Structure formats: structure tokens, C-alpha cells
Amino acid sequence: MSNATYEKQNPAFYVLLVCLIFMAVGPIFLMLVNSFKLDVDIISGTTGLLFLPTIQNYETALCDILWYEPEHLDFCSLKFGGSLINSIIIALVSTALTLVIGCMAAYALVRFRFMGRDTVSVSTLLVRMVPPAVLLVPVFGLWNNEFCLDKDGLIGGFIRDTFGGRGDVCLAGTHSGIILIYVAMNLPFVIWILQSFIVQVPRQLEEAARVDGAGPFQVFFLVVLPLIKPGLAAAAIFTFRIAWNEYLLASALSDRDTKTVPILIVNNMSEFNVEWGVIMATGMLLAIPPIIFTLFASRQIITGMTAGAVKG
């Protein structure tokens, strides 16, 4: 029976598979190919792979953080490198914060029995129901007008003196403003998914540690955390993906210096004369981290996705 693990299939079946794969990956591959083409080649339509690949588009995109000056550029107009750095900072910090805070909350919910699991599931669903567009108005209003430090106050005055600028110090336009809303958006999902992993950690293990004299914090960090690594990986990927890809709230909250990559791409798309090559290169740079995660951690991603529906 050991040979029966793979059944022989109809050849038509494999044709279907190839078609499906082509359809799923085709557009992404097309973007990759086009990002190595000059605009002339894209527009004149030299189809297929018969073209001279060039990294010129990537040089144009990254011109403000390259260590050399690309020959074909007189002036670096696209500040892509800066927004790439913003994106990285925002995505990494919000992922780390969400994980730490979410982990602690999930542990408390499971072990100390605050609320039932149902309460958490329902609130996860409720938060998932809220579209980012709905948060746009209140977040814009609050971050700009209410969550501010008075410029005459102690801390606000200090920040204004140190970093310059006018008006009160507000959350809008800072990295932390964007990070705060991303953490809040992702927390329910992270708590919920980690919960389902923490439930599986045997209680005896923790009790043994406690008998050996470990406090609740030691039990959590030294015993529980190492055991739920797969759950942490899934949660991390999902949080990172949202923080990395999100456009709407970031565009409402960021200013010239805190723009993220999606905002930059949208701004460049809305111009009449789209420079396809450069735009595709920026799109590719934005797509690379999620693609890498997918290729290396698809099992965790599928766990995270199916935990949502199959177990819940």
C-alpha cells in the first residue's frame, strides 16, 4: 500500500493544474519581467522574453538611497528609498508590538479565565468586520486634533524645541501614530490565534515550573513562549502583511516624511503619464517581502488562514 500514496491521474488533470498555476502566478511574473524592461520596450510591445534586461528601473526607484549616482538620471525625483525605510520601520515595529502585547493578553485569557473563548471569538469577528475606511474619519480627526501634546506643555514644548516645527505635537504624521492604529487593528486576530495555540500547552508543564519556584512571568517567557512558536510565526506574518500593505489609513495619517510605499505607488499611478517600468519596479519591491514569506512559511500561513474558519 505504500506506493498508493500518490494516485495516477488523467493527463487532462495535469493540464488543468498547469493552467491554474499559470493563472495564479502569471500576472506576478509579468510584473517581474516588465520591471526589468525599459519603457520603450514595454510600450512598443516586444513580447516574450526577447529583450535586454536592465536594472535601470530599480536604480530610478531607489535613487535616494543608492551609494552611487545612476548614469541615466539627472535628478532624483522619486523618493522611494525614504518611504521604503518608513514602511520597514512601521511594519517591523507594529509586528513586534502586536506580538508581545497579543501574546500576553492571550495567555491571560486562557490561563486566568477572564472571559470565555466565545467573547474573544465574537470580538475578533466584530473587529474584522470594521473596514479600514470606517476607521478613516475618526482616526483622522482624533490623531490630528485630540491626541496631541500642547506645544506650551512640558513634553510637547521639549519636542518642539528639539525637533522644530509649528503647532501642537500630534500623533498624525508620526510613525507612532500609524503604528498605534495597526497594532489595534491586528490585536484581536493575534490574540485569538495565539489563544488556540496556548490552550494546547499542557497545564502540568506550567505547574511543574511553578513548583520549581518560577513566578508567573518566568513561566510565561521560559515555558509557554517557546512552545507556541508556530502560532507566533503565523501571527507575525499576518500582522506584518497588513502593516506592510495597508494604504488608506497610512495615507490619512502620514505626512511628507512618513509616507509608506503603497502611498507612493498610488500617488505615482494617478498621474497621466505612467512610467510603467519604474512603477512595476516599485511594485515588485513592495511585493518581495510577502512573496518571500509565502515561499518559506506557506504552512504557517495556511494554518493561520484555516484556523479562522475551520476551527472557529
284 contacts 32 by C-beta, under 8 angstroms = yes
d(Cα 153, Cα 170) in Å, to the nearest integer? 13
In the complex with other proteins, the residue whose CB is nearer, 13 or 163, is 13
CB-wise, 12 or 67, nearer to other proteins?
12
What phi, psi does 115 have (nearest 5°)?
A: -125, 165
> What is the phi/psi pair of residue 170, to 5°?
-115, 165
The distance of closest approach from Cβ of residue 53 to other proteins in the complex, given in angstroms and rounded to an integer, is: 18
Q: Can you read off the three cell numbers belonging to residue 236?
A: 507575525
In terms of CB distance, is 114 or 158 closer to other proteins? 114
Question: Of 68 and 166, which has the nearer Cβ to other proteins?
Answer: 166
Query: Quick one: 188 or 231, whose CB is closer to other proteins?
Result: 188
CA distance 148 to 117: 36
Residue 63 or 237 with smaller CB distance to other proteins: 237
Grid coordinates of 287:
511585493
CB atoms within 10 A of CB 136: 15
End-to-end CA distance of the chain: 35
Q: For residues 219-241, b (16+ Cβ closer than 10 Å) or e, as one string? A: bbeebbeeebeebbbbbbbbbbb
Contact 56, 35 (CB under 8 A): no
Q: Give me the least distance between CB of 72 and other proteins, in Å please.
A: 21
Instruction: Return the number of the residue (63 or 106) whose C-beta is nearest other proteins.
Output: 106
Q: What is the spatial distance between Cα 163 and Cα 58, in angstroms, rounded to a whole number?
A: 33
C-beta atoms surrounding 295 within 10 Å? 8
Amino acid occupying residue 128: R
